[in-house]
Chain A
Amino acid sequence: MAVFLDVVSWLLLSLGGAFVFIGGVGALRMPDLYTRIHAASLTDTMGASLIIAGIILQAGASLASIKLAMILLFLLLTSPTATNALASAALLAGMRPGEAIPWRQDRSE
């Protein structure tokens, strides 16, 4: 049983790490702001969920698990909201999808 739990939590942690990594690469490599936000939001939702689920399996039935679940709930509430706020702020500031990112333009000037 313990070995099974270890293997599952290890799988979850690695998968979560992979999502964080993909999110990081996407945030750097995607062409415009909105696709970048989309990539970065992977880190907050999939990455964080899987990693915290993995840690909960390690912590077992304890107070730490409840705290981790609360943190997960907090992240699942706030991260998409922050992503939404960021995207609508960008839209409000007049940034169109497909437009190059401002600081990229600064460099070329």
Chain B
Amino acid sequence: MIVLFGVFLLTLLVITALAIVRSENLFVVVMLAGIFSLLMAAMFLILDAPDVALTEAAVGAGISTVLFLAALALTAERERAGSTNRLLALGVVAVTTLIVIYATFDKPRFGDPAAPVHQHVAPWYLERTPEAIDIPNVVTAILGSFRGYDTLGEVFVVFTAGIGVLFLLGTRPRRNSRSVRVALDESDAGLRHYLIPRVVGRLLVPFIVLFGLYIQFHGEYGPGGGFQAGAIVAAGLILYALLEGEEQALRVMPRWVLTGLVAGGALLYGAVGIAGMLLGGNFLDYSVLATDPIKGQQIGILLIETGVGITVTGVLLSVFHAFAARGRYL
């Protein structure tokens, strides 16, 4: 039965991918990309990877779509017809596809327990998590503690990406004369004139943020963690910005708070690592954070996950506001 679902989802994925390539309307492409991510999330869920599914649904289908739409508001809706060498492109794609298909012959069967990926370090993680960290979600244990360096790197990738977008888009163009501002005040107001979306949206925002916090702090027990929670909290606050207008959102959460979040989360993560060093352990060794090493591990994971969530929220909100502010001055 599950195989049937898998085949069905993969077929839909291929159809969506083809539609994305074929469509010339970029608005349609953005929507299809969101559908693609949602299908991918369902696929991950079938493959028993709820943590990844949650990330894909929150980031891929949710936030990315909003950011793409914000970017699309600054550019044209139609793709420019390019004069490309189709035969060459077709040849490259065909050869690559054949190589990839050839490579799959070497792979173990789908779901094979004897596959190298299940025999390499995974058994060690599964065995060590209950005794060393004692939290039910092994994914969080691996992400936060066993492979804390990797996650630190990921947080700094998000951090760097945010800084990059802010450098490119965050500057205020000079021609923000008063007349332009007054003329655009109407669009500033967000959805203020639309009663139904506004009422329902305002009702939902607190629950979305609450759900984000649940995902954040329940990450050790169920699927979730800082990355997913950051995306969900950011989605809730972006919804607020869409409803009430960007100005109002910036009054609630000014730019300096956003910048503080971007840097603060990454700093918190690094500080936990350095605290471990000062207390006599290695960098990112949480065992020394409390007298009981298991307790220390749990505190460490909680803190670094909070750091991840703060940075992701800050970066996503900053990127959104950078795009939105850009549109206002065009």
Contact = CB atoms under 8 A, between A and B. Distances in A.
A81 B25 contact: no
B194 A77 contact: no
Interface string A69-80: 000001001100
Which 3 A-B residue pairs are closest in the complex by CB-CB distance?
Answer: A81-B200, A85-B197, A84-B196
A88 B194 contact: yes
Nearest to B78: A106
B204 A77 contact: yes
Contact of B197 (A74, A81, A103): A81
A84 B204 CA distance: 16
B101 interface: no
A44 to B, nearest CB: 14
Contacts of B196: 81, 84-85
Interface in B171-221: 191, 194, 196-197, 200-201, 203-204
Nearest to A84: B196
B202 to A, nearest CB: 11
Interface of B: 25, 28, 191, 194, 196-197, 200-201, 203-204
B194 A78 contact: no
Contacts of A84: 196-197
Contacts of B191: 85
A77 B25 contact: no
A70 to B, nearest CB: 10
A81 B243 CA distance: 13
Contacts of A103: 25, 28
A80 to B, nearest CB: 8
B5 to A, nearest CB: 15
B203 A77 contact: yes
A74 B207 CA distance: 10
Contacts of A88: 194
A78 B197 CA distance: 9
A85 B242 CA distance: 13
Contacts of B194: 85, 88
Interface in A33-90: 74, 77-78, 81, 84-85, 88
A70 B197 CA distance: 20
B20 to A, nearest CB: 15
A78 B200 contact: yes
A103 B204 CA distance: 33
B219 to A, nearest CB: 18
A40 B197 CA distance: 18
A74 B191 CA distance: 20
Nearest to B201: A81
B36 to A, nearest CB: 19
Contacts of B197: 81, 84-85
Question: Which residue of A74, A78, A81, A84 has the most chain B CB atoms within 10 A of its CB atom?
Answer: A81
A71 B25 CA distance: 33
Nearest to B197: A85
A78 B25 contact: no
A7 B90 CA distance: 53
Contacts of A74: 204
A52 to B, nearest CB: 17
A105 B44 CA distance: 38
B293 to A, nearest CB: 33
